[in-house]
Amino acid sequence: QSQELSQVQIDYHAALQALVEEGTRMVCTGRMHTDRICRFESLCYSTEAEEFVFFHSNSSIMLPSLGSRRFQPALLDLSSVEDHNTQYFNFVELPVAALKFMPKPVFVPDVALIMNRFNPDNLMHVFHDDLIPIFYTMQQFPDLDLESRLFFMEGWNEGLHFDLYKALTNKQPLLKEQLKTLGRLLCFTKSYVGLSKITTWYQYGFVQPQGPKANILVSGNEIRQFTKFMMEKLNVTLEENFGEDYIVLFSRTINRLILNEAELILALAQEFQMKTITVSLEDHSFVDIIRLISNASMLVSMHGAQLVMSLFLPRGATVVELFPYAINPEHYTPYKTLATLPGMDLQYVAWQNAEEDNTVTYPDRHWDQGGITHLDKMEQERIMQSKEVPRHLCCRNPEWLFRVYQDTKVDISSLIQMIRQTVKSKPGSKKQKWVNGLYPGKVRDAKCQASVQGANEAKLSVSWQIPWNLKYLKVRDVKYEVWIQEQGENTYMPYILSYQNHTFSENIKPFATYLVWIRCIFNKNFLGPFADVLMCST
């Protein structure tokens, strides 16, 4: 294993001297443990104590300097899941003098990104919590390039999808367990600790029932930049027979099954006049799945982690998510939120099994596969009678597990009807032009001129120039919004105008002062900033 690290040569004595003289140096971004990422020089890790070590010297830096607030509750989150108490990062402190009595340090020459994967066996978690956040954390810090190395500290083995993680940099990621084989005291020459949460769109329900994050900051553009990178790294070559439209049914083969899959495939093919193909994680390689999905017109699947693969769909495609009986689609929206991110340009359809006769339950299974026989009889009875799982917290709610692991016979006509309500013409029509929304700048040189007509009448003439960026753009529809507010009043009169000047006379009084706010709007939806407020006295 240790030859792994020797690809970059370092001068051992220089590295040791730097550690002894400079100690550990840390500078972080972020104001709270939940948005913090730290950059370290000479951060060490004791594989025996399983603790990170900060060595103090006269030249050490520790910013932020939190004192014991560093433990309230932690310096930072090591995974992208917000404030999860099993994912905290901290270090213990020692003076550099203690090195004399410690194992000889082994230096890690690669720039390191040190983090936790959250749930590496679940595909939704792999993409949402790990791969996309790692990719964008690397974009944030230029020395986290393709020659940097990932260190997964959560303690899992490689997991089912390690190949995906391996695509992120040119160096093999290392697991916590493997660090022991490298030495007793590891010192990372240069490292970043923590993951950016800026791209995550979903919270899993640890403190409140699951749902979209309150303040989503990612758009389809960034998702697609990520998928483009992954497809290049994984050598996904696009389908040759482009032009032919087809539907992909992403099937589960172990649980949460579609019981009439053959019938469903035939019905979809017939209804939409398209070839319909089935893929599953069990029967297809990732490269094949991505190749097929990235050119599909529609992706149909049971609710479940495999649906995260819709991030590889082309613009204009349709996602159809099927929910088992008693599972309200509105309450479980990781894939809906993804499909409807601004700029993802996917259509989304949720279908729920409304017929109890069409569901198959598994009360006798192990609890984590939805079994309920470990519960008392009354509770089992209540769950069996219930027609909808009430909102709940993650992750072991037995009623939720019981219902979400049901198999379903899909009612074909109600499903087709649902899809038809959303997809009016041909699904996935790639001909549609997707307007890439740009926003106007401020209007310029705004002026107003007042005239008093009499004791009760006055006019306000307002004019302005187009935003600076408009002269370089072709914009279909340019409008201006003007708000007129009498000074001291809480309300204002809004106007939408097509020209760059207007004379207002209704509700304009003589000898009053008005505040005039003006902004430009492109294509109805792209609202620009207001220019500095104008003060106009009549």
Q: Applying CB under 6 A, which residues contact ligand UDP?
A: 122-124, 252-255, 281, 304-306
CB 447 within 8 A of CB 460: no
Among residues 276 and 306, whose Cβ is nearest to ligand UDP?
Answer: 306
Rounded-to-integer distance, Cα 243 and Cα 108, Å: 50
Among residues 181 and 253, whose Cβ is nearest to ligand UDP?
Answer: 253
Rounded-to-integer distance, Cα 420 and Cα 417, Å: 5
Rounded-to-integer distance, Cα 174 and Cα 183, Å: 13
First to last CA, the chain: 81
Among residues 281 and 470, whose Cβ is nearest to ligand UDP?
Answer: 281
Among residues 79 and 122, whose Cβ is nearest to ligand UDP?
Answer: 122
Closest CA to 323 of 298, 349, 351: 351
Backbone phi and psi for residue 507, each to the nearest 5 degrees, phi listed first: 65, 20
Cβ-based burial of 295 (10 A; exposed 0-12, middle 13-18, buried ≥19)? buried
Q: How far is the CB of 181 from ligand UDP (least distance, A)?
A: 29
Among residues 112 and 258, whose Cβ is nearest to ligand UDP?
Answer: 258
Rounded-to-integer distance, Cα 242 and Cα 250, Å: 20
Q: How far is the CB of 382 from ligand UDP (least distance, A)?
A: 23
CB 24 within 8 A of CB 41: yes
Among residues 60 and 122, whose Cβ is nearest to ligand UDP?
Answer: 122
CB 403 within 8 A of CB 325: yes
Q: How far is the CB of 306 from ligand UDP (least distance, A)?
A: 4
CB 143 within 8 A of CB 123: no
Q: How far is the CB of 56 from ligand UDP (least distance, A)?
A: 44
Q: How far is the CB of 131 from ligand UDP (least distance, A)?
A: 13
Among residues 189 and 353, whose Cβ is nearest to ligand UDP?
Answer: 353
Rounded-to-integer distance, Cα 90 and Cα 240, Å: 51
Rounded-to-integer distance, Cα 357 and Cα 355, Å: 5
Among residues 114 and 257, whose Cβ is nearest to ligand UDP?
Answer: 257
Q: How far is the CB of 78 from ligand UDP (least distance, A)?
A: 22
- Classify strands 106-108 and 275-279 as parallel, antiparallel or unpaired: unpaired
Q: How far is the CB of 252 from ligand UDP (least distance, A)?
A: 3
Please, which residues have CB within 8 angstroms of residue 27's CB and are 6 or more apart in sequence?
38, 39, 61, 63
Among residues 255 and 485, whose Cβ is nearest to ligand UDP?
Answer: 255
Rounded-to-integer distance, Cα 394 and Cα 204, Å: 7
Strand boundaries in 263-312, DSSP class E: 275-279, 298-302
Among residues 87 and 306, whose Cβ is nearest to ligand UDP?
Answer: 306
For residue 496, give the H/E element and its range.
strand 493-497
3-state helix, strand, coil in the chain (%, to 5): 30, 25, 45
Query: Could you give the residue ranges of the DSSP H alpha helices within 67-198?
Result: 123-125, 132-140, 162-166, 176-182
Residue by residue, DSSP assigns 443-471 as -EEEEEEEEE-SSS-EEEEEEEE--GGGG
Among residues 179 and 305, whose Cβ is nearest to ligand UDP?
Answer: 305
Rounded-to-integer distance, Cα 349 and Cα 422, Å: 7
Among residues 224 and 256, whose Cβ is nearest to ligand UDP?
Answer: 256
Q: How far is the CB of 375 from ligand UDP (least distance, A)?
A: 20
Q: How far is the CB of 237 from ligand UDP (least distance, A)?
A: 24
Backbone phi and psi for residue 69, each to the nearest 5 degrees, phi listed first: -65, -15
Q: How far is the CB of 69 from ligand UDP (least distance, A)?
A: 36
Among residues 40 and 405, whose Cβ is nearest to ligand UDP?
Answer: 405
